[in-house]
A and B are shown apart, each in its own frame.
Chain A
Amino acid sequence: MSETVIPYMVKPHPVTGLPNGKFGIWLFLASEVMLFGALFSSYVLIRIGVPHWPPEGGLSSEILSVPLGTFNTGVLITSSITMVLAWASCKMGSLPRFKMWMGATVFLALVFLVVKYFEYSDKFHHDHFPSHDNFFAVYFLLTGLHGLHIVGGIVVNTFLLTWGSRMWKTDPEHFTNRVENAGLYWHFVDLVWIFLFPSLYLL
């Protein structure tokens, strides 16, 4: 029913040449670039304003765990390829394979959060809260906001994996578009981490 209410969910809109959902997700991602961009710009400003970074001395790589950060980078990159495979499975007409790859994507996202939980609890254990200094304020703000995006991705992907996949029976093309849009968001979350990891952990 809802498919007939909202036009151009499957067919491309004559003006943009795209289904509305896909155009919408790209506009949303553009706003996300500005959100993370503003915070990244603030980070640059804070960094160049102090004689040494981290302010307490030493190196970022001595304060944060590079092995855990590297592991999590690998986890997110792998979740991006499983997301592509989930979408490709829809395109190839296989719901079971979609479920397998989407399940793997959600699982990897959870692994990322579990690793992040251990990283955070280690910092809290050493009384390193956001209020400790600018380094931790920046670290917790940027990784926290990114972590919330991971949670958002898990919610959407879990929906598509469970109740949402009912649409496969009624309108597989629309469902495939939804998976593609969720994928665009998910790759963007991966892309943000690609910048966060070196700038917070390694530099």
Chain B
Amino acid sequence: MDATGHEDVSKHMGPYYVVFVALLCLTAVTVGVSYLHLNRPLAITVALIIASVKAGLVAAVFMHLISEKKVIYAVLILTALFFALLLALPNLTTFEHHSGMPGT
């Protein structure tokens, strides 16, 4: 199914180059923004948004996720769920702090 004709691939190379240039530009933007010395929460938000856009472009175009089989989407949805859970874990410790429980 994936084995398409030879000439077929060469016609679809455009998006790869566009994404390549976009990734380089977004890298320049991230570095440029860091020199503005925004306040930390804003700087972290901006940097993570740009990184997420870059990661999305890599996953969608380079890793062909825009036209992938359903089973891979299912695996990735499950992964995203557990990943979100993992990132939320540190919050449990801050809740402890706020409720005045002893600890470091």
Contact = CB atoms under 8 A, between A and B. Distances in A.
Contacts of B71: 16-18, 23
A92 B63 contact: no
Interface string A49-65: 10000000000010000
Contacts of A92: 6-7, 9-10
Contacts of A44: 87, 90
Nearest to B1: A12
23 contacts: A17-B69, A26-B76, A37-B82, A37-B87, A38-B86, A45-B93, A48-B90, A48-B94, A73-B27, A78-B20, A80-B23, A80-B62, A81-B62, A91-B6, A91-B8, A92-B6, A173-B3, A188-B63, A191-B58, A194-B55, A194-B58, A203-B40, A203-B43
User: Chain B contact residues: over half helix, strand or loop, or mixed?
Assistant: helix
Interface in A15-43: 16-19, 23, 26-27, 30, 33-34, 37-38, 40-41
B59 A191 contact: yes
Interface string B52-85: 0011001100110000011110011011001100
Contacts, number: 128
Interface residues of B, number: 49
Nearest to A188: B63
Given A30-B79, A37-B83, A195 B55 contact: yes
